[in-house]
Amino acid sequence: MKDVRDALMVARNTDGKLVRRPLSPHVQVYRWPLSMALSILHRITGVALGVGTLLMTWWLVAAASSDAAFATAEGFIGSPFGLLLLFGWSLALFFHLFSGIRHLVWDAGFGFEEPAYNTSGWAVVIATGVCTVLAWVIGLAVW
Amino acid sequence: MSETPNLDILRSPLGRVRGLGSAHAGSAHWWAQRLTATALVPLTLWFIYSVMRFSTASHQAVHDWLSSPIPLVLMLALVAITFHHLQLGLQVVIEDYVHEEPAKTASLVLSKTLCWLLALVCVVSVLKIGF
């Protein structure tokens, strides 16, 4: 034992033999239920959207600066890499929006029961996919 | 027999009045995060619509659009509430995953500083377009 905390992990079994206490399984051991995946995705998309605010800031600064600066920003957003970023950002935004609404419903005290819990999770996934595709189809085709 | 005083809560009357738990921070953070989240639901939908609408628009069109009062106010609200919500959320993530005290403090200060600066840059840009 190198660490004093290890002492707390050692005990005697019914035969009086020293054994390591069992640990609860690490997060990697669990099968991933939907809500567990959505929960961590909510955080990941939140941080990703935080990075995405840099693009929004650039766009607003460029719009406030000059025609040339605005053209540069629009050029980047319209480039393949810019469009890829924008697609990822739209996906994250729709997910965080719908998942956030699910959280707000929980905060109001509803939706904790077993069927509702999973149904709302799948609803978030489906709504995210449908709205992202719709937004891009409308954005590219109509406007 | 007189009634026994109820002592089942190990909290001082002052502590109960303040309404703060062991974190000494109360519910202000939690409440602010929910309030900004609720406001961001319609604002985000409006923002997505706007980005789609003006994705191929000229600089002049974007200028004209942000110069009218309602888009101007909505954009300012979106910027202010987004960055407030962001710094609240980043704070929770940092407090959950960064445990070393100097690194935690540095991350918190850095994230809040960046949120403030970006918010101010956005606000000034939007006002510059609008006026």
Which residue from A70, A100, A103 is facing B59, i.e. has the nearest CB? A70
Q: Using a CB-CB distance cutoff of 8 angstroms, which residues of chain A are in contact with residue B51?
A: 139
Q: Cβ distance B78 to B43 under 8 Å? A: yes
**Per-residue tens of pLDDT for chain B, all 131 residues:** 566 666 566 777 777 777 676 666 668 899 999 999 999 999 999 999 999 888 788 999 999 999 999 999 999 999 999 999 999 999 999 999 999 999 999 999 999 999 999 999 999 999 999 98
- C-alpha span between B80 and B63 (Å, rounded): 20
Q: Cβ distance B107 to B98 under 8 Å? A: yes
At B56, is the secondary structure helix, strand, or coil?
Answer: coil
- C-alpha span between B32 and B85 (Å, rounded): 8
Query: Any idea of the CA torsion for B106, B108, B113, B116, to the nearest 10 degrees?
Result: 180
**B25 interfaces chain A, CB cutoff of 8 Å:** no
Assigned token pair, B92 = 């929770």
**B123 interfaces chain A, CB cutoff of 8 Å:** no
Which residue from A61, A93, A103 is facing B44, i.e. has the nearest CB? A93
Q: Cβ distance B93 to A47 under 8 Å? A: yes
Q: What's the whole-model pTM score?
A: 0.83
Q: Cβ distance B68 to B59 under 8 Å? A: no
- Chain B, nearest residue to A72 by Cα: B59
What tens digit of pLDDT does each residue of A89-127 get?
A: 999 999 999 999 999 999 999 998 888 989 999 999 999
Q: Using a CB-CB distance cutoff of 8 angstroms, which residues of chain A are in contact with residue B129?
A: 60, 63-64
- C-alpha span between B62 and B59 (Å, rounded): 5
**ipTM confidence score:** 0.83
**B53 interfaces chain A, CB cutoff of 8 Å:** yes
